[in-house]
Amino acid sequence: MKVVITGGGGFLGNQLARQLIKRGELTAPSGQVEAIDEILLFDTHLSDVAKAGLEEHSQTRWVTGDIADRDQVFSLIDRDDTSVFHLASMVSGECEVRFDDALSINLDGQRHLLEACRARSSTPRLVFTSSIAAFGGEIMPETVSDGTKRTPQTTYGVTKVIGELLINDYSRKGFIDGRSARLPTIIIRPGKPNTAASSFASGVLREPLAGQTCELPVDRSQLMPVLGYRDVIESFIALHEAAPDTLGDDRAYGLPSIQHSVAEMIESLEEVASSRDITLGEIVDKPDAVIQRIVATWPTATDGERAIKIGVPKPSTLMQIIDTYIDDFM
């Protein structure tokens, strides 16, 4: 079978490809477990870093292009025995300043992908990455669940909610076998910061571990639901493998997370660094009103019990996440 990973040039796309290579098989549209003979990573740009560790695997292919290009998207889904992990998205900060591009990439791109799957003679499985930015507003509770009303307060969140609803409807009609993973903030992402409003959550751990100064744009009391990168990759695969008859009519699953304030994240970082004899870089408070305003619209905790019931793993602790990052990337 073939696996297509959109957004394959990003960190999670790379990590997912690695895990699929190690696993070697998935449940195909046939309903049977089949060997993976092709993994196609698609993105606007595929750097050497994105390809790192994958070049020696003959089943891996890379294609660059624009997910808003309908013809190119259709060319990616060229086999009936295809599964899709749709990670491609414009991130939160960019969506706020590039509204038209946000609609083109996050909405039009997803619809092209859904239509390409619909055009096959099979019913491809598709895992879509949504976000807790789907929630917000005055009625939002402190802890959100799959039963919480989705009232996003950012363009990014709006596109994710629409994406979840499209996955539900295309699945209801039998065009695809879709599942949505609603992500909390994922940590710790290696490399440089990006324009996501949540980028600081990785930076406040990553930069000090590298001996660099971190400029913190939000208040240290800010509470956040976070999840380790290994856990989210396992969650993607668990959602893909879940039997269709266990999913119900709402195929959007909020992933479990752990809740911490930024101050608690820093305290855990200092404890791990001390145990490993790592000298940390300085963390400097540098408030950014735009980022603080966006983050303040998001929920501070998630209830992922519904996802856990269908096989999604329970989250690692914060100290485990930091230790894992050190082992994997330092």
Can you give the residue ranges of every domain in the chain? 2-183+227-256+301-315
Q: What is the pLDDT of residue 287?
A: 95
Distance CA 238, CA 127 (A): 10
Q: What is the pLDDT of residue 194?
A: 77
Q: What is the pLDDT of residue 201?
A: 96
The DSSP element (H or E) to which 284 belongs, if any, is strand 283-285
Q: Is 128 helix (H, G, I), strand (E, B) or coil?
A: strand
- CA 5, 9, 11, 17 dihedral sign is positive
pTM: 0.95
Q: What percent of the chain has pLDDT over 70?
A: 100
State the CB neighbour count (10 A cutoff) for residue 258: 21
Torsion of CA 307, 153, 290, 269, to 10 degrees: -10
Q: What is the pLDDT of residue 163?
A: 98
Q: What is the pLDDT of residue 92?
A: 86
* Residue 35 β-bridge partners: 25
Residues with catalytic function: 156
pLDDT digits (tens, 9 = 90+) for 108-135: 999 999 999 999 999 999 999 999 999 9
Residue labelled with tokens 């899709």: 84
With 90 as the cut, is the pLDDT of residue 295 above it? Answer: no
Q: Which two tokens stand for residue 217?
A: 């744009």
Distance CA 226, CA 163 (A): 22
Average pLDDT for 15-22: 96
Q: Is 95 exposed, middle or buried (0-12, 13-18, 19+ CB in 10 A)?
A: buried
90-94: list long-range contacts, CB under 8 Å, 24+ apart: 90/156, 91/156, 91/194, 91/195, 91/196, 91/197, 92/131, 92/133, 92/154, 92/156, 92/157, 92/195, 92/196, 92/197, 92/198, 92/294, 93/195, 93/196, 93/197, 93/199, 93/290, 93/291, 93/294, 94/195
With 90 as the cut, is the pLDDT of residue 38 above it? Answer: yes
pLDDT digits (tens, 9 = 90+) for 215-231: 999 999 999 999 999 99
Q: If you average pLDDT over every residue of the chain, what do you get? A: 96
State the pLDDT confidence band at 273, using cuts at 50, 70 and 90.
very high
Q: What is the pLDDT of residue 231?
A: 98
Distance of CA 46 to the CA centre of its chain: 18
Q: What is the pLDDT of residue 191?
A: 87
> If you classify domain 2-183+227-256+301-315 with CATH, what class do you get?
alpha beta
Q: What is the pLDDT of residue 49?
A: 78
